[in-house]
Structure 1
């Protein structure tokens, strides 16, 4: 899953994220241009690269399995003790386990979707020294869904929020559900009005936010590299105006001004 699998993640917390694409080299070139990433080899083989900032892991990009018609989606993975038990919890709650659990390197992974269709994964095993809001990891991870309370109950039951080891806390504030680990926000859940969006490509989904020194430059580089960039309206907690970007294969993410971390 990473260049160095050397950490024991907080159970129930986001522990990694990746994007599966059809053209790995093209994706590497795009994200190197837009976000300034370097890429290193991974323990998961030649078809999987780890994005790096100053030598530290940020995210993974891999090649989709041939014949598997899956959209390019940035997917968060949550740490679990038992992937089989977690898969059973997902199915018991009328959601979908699409792939796995499968052995991957030194761990086991599965890909699932919640009852509203938002894609997520879960991982059993060691991970990079990676945590949302710290170091090279993305500063924010958000779920945009129709019913925030239903979603919070679903993920809370699947990943044992709250009460999981590591001090996971779930609170409702500023019209959103905030998931914290040791007081640090690691996931934000927003609800309402998604089904009324005029863009049919917008559906319940997890959205990853990356910070950059220059959002205008990142947006221009995205367009030059074959993607799209649309000004984003800052939400609660956002450091300032940014852009919603789609890469050439449709992977969606946002960029915001970098703040000191």
Structure 2
């Protein structure tokens, strides 16, 4: 996670993980080379960049001046895969990490202190990787959602079992004010926060598939105006197109990280 120290104005609950607990609140990319990653996503998604106080290996992506994602050039240093990872807001990173391990998940990194908060990189019991963040947000959550909406979808073996796992970790559908709502729609589990769809969980990942792209994983979707233009830009800048339709394309960036661009924002 890549966080600047918040300004004095960023002190209301809407800037804190306490106000959106259990909901995805950020997406971050592990990279081997921050410079080439900046160039790729600048060309494909039109992002601009700013540094953060954690050092030269970290950057914040901006869409129309609003923070939308983070890049951490630590894949080689921390021996991690190059990948997009969603982060969920939690009230206590230590408590959430303990809940994950109690329910058969694993901890890869942390919880560690990254002022102004704490973060951890975890995996559920089927191996899908996700992060947690406790503390101040970059900007208010509604602004992040509007800037270039990042929507996430879990492809897993059993959507209902996964919903139970995450629900117990993040207090989904609890009696706590402000918790996320869970609904079952056919074979999918739909997560809403503040009335907005923020995540979906679907079954179907093959149990022993050799391709990591279809093993249990969280897929990050970015809403764009022109899917085809993004796909062509990805190809020109060292990436590839895994699948493409009129309103959605699954892409790999120049280092192999997979993500989706879509013209259909979730509501």
Taking structure 2 as the reference length, the TM-score comes to: 0.88
Give every structure 1 segment of 4 or more consecutive aligned residues whose post-TM-superposition deviation is greater than 4 Å.
Answer: 258-261
1:195 to 207, 218, 224: 207
Deviation per residue, 1:199-251 (Å, 9 max, x gap):
45421111111122211111111011111013346xxxxxx632110012111
Q: Distance in 1 between matches of 2:129 and 2:212?
A: 17
Partner of 1:174: 186
| Distance of aligned partners of 1:80 and 1:63 in 2 relative to their CA distance in 1, 3 Å threshold | same
C-alpha contact (below 8 Å) 1:242/1:256 kept by paired residues: yes
Partner of 2:86: 76
| Distance of aligned partners of 1:65 and 1:241 in 2 relative to their CA distance in 1, 3 Å threshold | closer
Mapping for residues 1-261 of structure 1, pairs under 5 Å: 1-2=2-3, 5=6, 6=10, 7-9=15-17, 10-64=20-74, 66-128=76-138, 129-131=140-142, 134-163=145-174, 164-195=176-207, 199-232=211-244, 241-257=247-263
C-alpha contact (below 8 Å) 1:132/1:186 kept by paired residues: no
Gaps of 5+ in 2: none
Deviation per residue, 1:178-209 (Å, 9 max, x gap):
11112111110011243376745421111111
Q: Distance in 2 between matches of 1:243 and 1:48?
A: 27
1:259, distance to aligned residue in structure 2 (A):
6.0
Moved more, 3-12 or 182-191: 3-12
C-alpha contact (below 8 Å) 2:61/2:70 kept by paired residues: yes
| Distance of aligned partners of 1:100 and 1:255 in 2 relative to their CA distance in 1, 3 Å threshold | same
Residue 55 of structure 2 aligns to a residue in which SS?
coil
Q: Distance in 1 between matches of 2:265 and 2:76?
A: 40
| Distance of aligned partners of 1:104 and 1:151 in 2 relative to their CA distance in 1, 3 Å threshold | same
Q: Distance in 1 between matches of 2:39 and 2:248?
A: 22
Taking structure 1 as the reference length, the TM-score comes to: 0.90
| Distance of aligned partners of 1:241 and 1:138 in 2 relative to their CA distance in 1, 3 Å threshold | same
Q: Distance in 2 between matches of 1:197 and 1:91?
A: 25
Gaps of 5+ in 1: 234-239
Q: Distance in 1 between matches of 2:143 and 2:150?
A: 6
| Distance of aligned partners of 1:250 and 1:91 in 2 relative to their CA distance in 1, 3 Å threshold | same
Residue 195 of structure 1 aligns to a residue in which SS?
coil
Residue 186 of structure 1 aligns to a residue in which SS?
strand
| Distance of aligned partners of 1:151 and 1:231 in 2 relative to their CA distance in 1, 3 Å threshold | same
Q: Distance in 1 between matches of 2:205 and 2:170?
A: 26
Q: Distance in 2 between matches of 1:221 and 1:241?
A: 16
